Structure 1
Amino acid sequence: MTEAVVDDILIMLPPLLQTLEALSYVARYLNPPDFDRVMADIGDPEQALQTARTHLTSWPADFAHIRIAFDTAADAALMSFAGLRAVQRGEGDLIDVFRALRQLPRALEALFPLAATLPPLSEFFLDPAVGNDQALRQLLAATSGKDAVFHDHNEIGNRGGFSLYVPEYYTADRAWPLVMALHGGSGNGRDFLWSWLRAARSMGAILVAPTAAGPTWALMGEDADTPNLVRILDLVRSRVAVDSARMLLTGMSDGGTFCYVSGLERHSPFTHLAPVAATFHPLMAQIADRDRLRGLPIQIVHGQLDWMFPVEIARHTQDALAKSGARIVYREIDDLSHCYPREVNVDLLRWLMS
């Protein structure tokens, strides 16, 4: 790597990662009444990123893939901030905020392949909860260069496909825990994969992020999604060694609600359920199979500030499922609105693995 390229990476990478972390902060703490305060909290990191880009030099062709990834991620981050700033100026609404934040996973997807060669990026794609785990870092360094993220008919706009993360240090000599993570309404698995990848990479779990067959999960009418989830699970299990006693079905919003719809079925293969920011109808507990519910580990995660599904729903759900015999862990987060709390993922994996 030439000295000029190294200098450019040192100029570009810190403000790029800081900008992405700022977008993650907005995505985590987004609450409509607090939008202006949250934006004030993060300052204006995109300005440093814009300045850094103006100082970049021409790169040799051998390093074009790194430059393309940096440019793609920076373009996505700056586009996201442009959308957020427009809403601050009164030129949009909450839907425009969500639309702007969709650029964040596109930036992460562009950068992740470089984690194998750039240690700061490898560190960026680890969960802070693992702290100074040198054994993990040695494993990642020893297996750098292995493909880890795969997409099966899961381009943005496609329905019914899935994205898959297999830890770089995966070996077939033991069975691995699996997480199937379901996106929220109108979302897709390719983007939602990045809500979970840090934790799966840090803890050693196979991660599957499917996309609903329709605009959202089959919460009413004919259920085309459960058979597709089983198909995807069977396909993944035919390729990697999965621990059949540690398979978590989790999801956000509509995806969390579908955890109940699908995961409470008698023949569901999943051993643990973890709906996040989900809604629940008491009839679900009444019509669910008694044998399936008895002793089933379910962890409910909900925010006190949830404006879409008020927290009282989650509290009633806890009571209904506990009375039906499920083993309930209830986690209520006081500063969480209707957002995905990425900080719970490592704890969910520890719960799954315990």
Structure 2
Amino acid sequence: MSPWPELRSLGRRDSMPETGFLARTATLAATTYRYQIYLPPGFTPDRLWPVILFLHGAGEGGSDGLQQTRVGLGPALRRFPERFPAVVVFPQSRRGHPWRGPMAELALHTLEQAIREFHGDPNRLYLTGVSMGGYGTWRLALEDPHRFAALVPICGGLDAPGRRTLPRNPGAASSVPEPFLEAARHLRHVPTWIFHGEEDTIIPVEESRIMVQALREVGAPVRYTEYPEVEHDSWDPAYAEQELMPWLLSHVRAP
């Protein structure tokens, strides 16, 4: 019996494709990686589907191909499947490896495989991540600013060359550091909804506050939700927001 019974199909009729969490593999540079694809209830291959790429945090790295579905977006899909009418891709980075270099390549490779296999709409691709994956969200978006239709970084921060450590005092920075402004200029056309917990002791909330300030200074379409008295696990209330998916799926990549 599988130790992960919740990863089985959500149900299957003879004439319908399997849905729920499906195991897949990807091979890069002679290394095989396990990952998961989520297909929503009612999935059918006769139309194009929006595709969400989810980047997990540092604690979910490894090689089992499953742990990345246990924190963040995966539990929300199990709890509210009706809210997420999209294909969702769950790559898994090797433990200790952030979402850059080979791991960024892996994430995008799994996304492309999902688009081909499950009729993904290239104009409705969305990127989200938590903690280390929040940093990865900014990193992947900056490396290809025109790939994604919208971004949802949660309790993360800017991963870009030249940035410095931010002060942990919210009032300490009167101006936005240039690396944040430069990143904001590159992404000023991408709708973004940022989430963070006010009491986060792992990744300080200033990471998100200053990125929001930078995006607003360049006129970018940005929303920001900061949860009072919430620590690092701000992904739980964020992915439970009823407005999140309607907002996300309302955006289509500009030609």
Deviation (angstroms), 1:306: 0.6
Deviation (angstroms), 1:307: 0.9
Which TM-score applies when normalising by structure 2? 0.73
Distance (whole Å) between structure 2 residues aligned to residue 114 and residue 266 of structure 1: 33
Check if 1:211 corresponds to 2:118: no
The residue matched to 1:248 in structure 2 has which SS?
strand
Instruction: For structure 2, list consecutive stretches of 5 or more residues without a partner in the other structure.
Output: 164-176, 251-255
Judged with a 3 Å threshold, the aligned counterparts in structure 2 of structure 1 residues 114 and 286 are, in CA distance, closer, same or farther, namely: closer
**Root-mean-square deviation (CA), in Å?**
3.0
Q: 2:68 pairs with 192, 198, 218, which one? A: 192
Q: Which residue of 2 aligns with 1:262?
A: 140
Check if 1:165 corresponds to 2:38: yes
Which TM-score applies when normalising by structure 1? 0.54
**1:275–1:301 Cα contact (<8 Å) kept:** yes
Judged with a 3 Å threshold, the aligned counterparts in structure 2 of structure 1 residues 288 and 252 are, in CA distance, closer, same or farther, namely: same
Deviation readout 1:222-281 (Å, 9 max, x if unpaired): x22232222211111111122333221111101101111111224552221111111234
| Relative contact order, higher structure (CA 8 A, sep 6+) | 2
Check if 1:181 corresponds to 2:77: no
Instruction: For structure 1, list consecutive stretches of 5 or more residues without a partner in the other structure.
Output: 1-67, 73-108, 117-139
Q: Which residue of 1 aligns with 2:112?
A: 234
Q: Which residue of 2 aligns with 1:78?
A: none
Q: 1:249 pairs with 114, 127, 151, which one? A: 127
Judged with a 3 Å threshold, the aligned counterparts in structure 2 of structure 1 residues 200 and 245 are, in CA distance, closer, same or farther, namely: farther
The residue matched to 1:232 in structure 2 has which SS?
helix
Superposed counterparts of 1:40-55, under 5 Å: none
**2:51–2:125 Cα contact (<8 Å) kept:** yes
**Aligned residue identity for 1:163:** Q
Q: Which residue of 2 aligns with 1:98?
A: none
Judged with a 3 Å threshold, the aligned counterparts in structure 2 of structure 1 residues 147 and 293 are, in CA distance, closer, same or farther, namely: closer
Q: 2:8 pairs with 91, 109, 113, which one? A: 113
The residue matched to 1:204 in structure 2 has which SS?
coil
**Aligned residue identity for 2:6:** L
Identity of matched residues, %: 25
**1:187–1:216 Cα contact (<8 Å) kept:** no
Deviation (angstroms), 1:141: 8.3
**1:151–1:164 Cα contact (<8 Å) kept:** yes
The residue matched to 2:115 in structure 1 has which SS?
helix
Deviation readout 1:148-171 (Å, 9 max, x if unpaired): 3222238xxx98442111124111
The residue matched to 2:58 in structure 1 has which SS?
coil
Identify the structure with the greater helix proportion. Answer: 1
Deviation readout 1:119-153 (Å, 9 max, x if unpaired): xxxxxxxxxxxxxxxxxxxxx88988835322223
The residue matched to 1:177 in structure 2 has which SS?
strand
**Aligned residue identity for 1:152:** R
Q: Which residue of 2 aligns with 1:149?
A: 21
Q: Which residue of 1 aligns with 2:102?
A: 224
Q: Which residue of 1 aligns with 2:249?
A: 353
Q: Which has the larger radius of gyration?
A: 1
